[in-house]
Amino acid sequence: MRITLVNVAYLVASLLFVLSLRGLSAQQSARRGNLLGTLGMLLAVAVTLGAVVAPDNKALAAGPSDLGLLAASIGVGAVIGAVLAARVAMTSMPELVAVLHSFVGAAAALVGIGSEMNGVRAGGAPDVAHHVEIHAGVFIGAITFTGSVIAFLKLRGTIGSKPLVLPARHALNASLVFACIFLAVAAFRGGEAVRVPYLLASTGVASVLGAHLVLAIGGGDMPVVVSLLNSYSGWAASAAGFMLGNDLLIVTGALVGSSGAILSYIMCKAMNRSIWNVVFAGFGDQGGVVPAAKKGEPAKKVNETNIDGAADLLLGAKNVIVVPGYGMAVAQAQHAVKEITTLLERRGTKARYAIHPVAGRLPGHMNVLLAEANVSYEAVKEMEEINEDFEETDVVVVIGANDIVNPSALDDPGSPIYGMPVLEVWKAGRVIMLKRGMAAGYAGVDNPLCYLDNTLMLFGDAKASVQKLLHAVSARAEQQAA
């Protein structure tokens, strides 16, 4: 095998991608990891363009019109990407990620269709391995595309977050998979006249399957879904690499696919659920509903507080932990929360943030929001690091989180979330819980934390409540200092 400059460049780009993933595994090195990934991609694109222009590369040779179209495509894509990255709010990052995944899926499907059309145009019997590559790539790409589009619409709120649980949905999914396999076999045996039509039909069937799979998943499982789609997009890119004979695309896709699969496993483990349960169980169909009291059971009472009471508790505390959830992201209250903790730290209070692995709608969603608000990395603690500290904490402030602080996960074997690791906030001296109302979380489970004696409920819009709390804490701190 002759080693060329292209091979060496692809190897360097692959190493940069590996180092990028390593850097992205920690907040402190995330910027460096992002930079290394960017450099790797720039190198990959530049070398690939050079191979296309190279006159001695007959397989990739392109004419002036082709090069012009390619340059225009790269330019338009670069401009759109830059505008989206600059304008998107951190709270909309999950939707952006879902859309980007859909692009990868669509690209893989289009590459497969184009490869099949070229094969038919060239004539001759199809190679078995290449035929499998094409249909597998289109299958994965189509599922990734439509699944990502549905995830985007769910995250954006365009369609409801409740799972679509159809009768015999598992049989429907199996039928769609077998239909794609049948079409692939029939296309191989049917000759040139049916290869492209059957592939297009298979693409349509796989697209329906992708949409149905994500529609059947509740909004509370969106972090895992986004991670899964990330994995799908990687395998779709790898399949496209096989179809194009591009080693770097194969390696890069495998890195993305495997890392996404590992992240999905970690998140499922954090919820004490299997990946099969997330994808096929239709979990979370009661999310957002106020739990009804059981027959004969008296209505439960909660202890309410107001802004002044919450401010007094915070100012009197020596150790405070903030637990952010999706409600904080929706309210975009992270900056006001950061200002509150800064005021407390100036008074000598120890203030930290506790992050649950599946908080929010995206892996690392809360970490991104807190980083945007310039919260120190040292103050942000993962669940395993901070759970033992709640017993020594004076006040815990829970903002827009529900299922991840539900004690039923530990002490109620009949609860749907039993066994799920949660932040044990109830062990603190006081818990201030900010919620709009008493609706359950996405798991559809009532939260006993709301009724405990040491829990105080602060009802209202999270952003308005946090802003008022900031003003109250600031005013009292100034009075005490005077």
- C-alpha dihedral over 30, 34, 37, 41, to 10 degrees? 170
403 is catalytic: yes
- pLDDT number for residue 3: 57
Tokens 């009197």 belong to residue: 316
Q: Are 351 and 323 in contact (CB under 8 A)?
A: no
Which segments of the chain have a pLDDT < 50? 1, 55, 57-60, 286-292, 296
> How many Å apart are CA 115 and CA 229, to the nearest integer?
24
Q: Check residue 282 and give its pLDDT.
A: 59
CATH number 3.40.50.1220 given to 307-481: yes
Q: What is the per-residue pLDDT for 444?
A: 58
**Dihedral over Cα of 368, 372, 374, 375: its sign:** negative
Cα(414)–Cα(358) distance, integer angstroms: 22
| Predicted TM-score of the model (pTM) | 0.78
How many C-beta neighbours within 10 Å does residue 348 have?
Answer: 7
C-alpha 319: how far from its chain's center? 31
Look at residue 245 in the predicted model and tell me its pLDDT. Answer: 81
Distance CA 305, CA 276 (A): 42
Q: Where are the domains of the chain?
A: 1-87, 90-283, 307-481
Provide the pLDDT for residue 1: 45
Tell me which of 66, 285, 389, 403 is the catalytic residue. 403
The pLDDT value recorded for residue 287 is 47
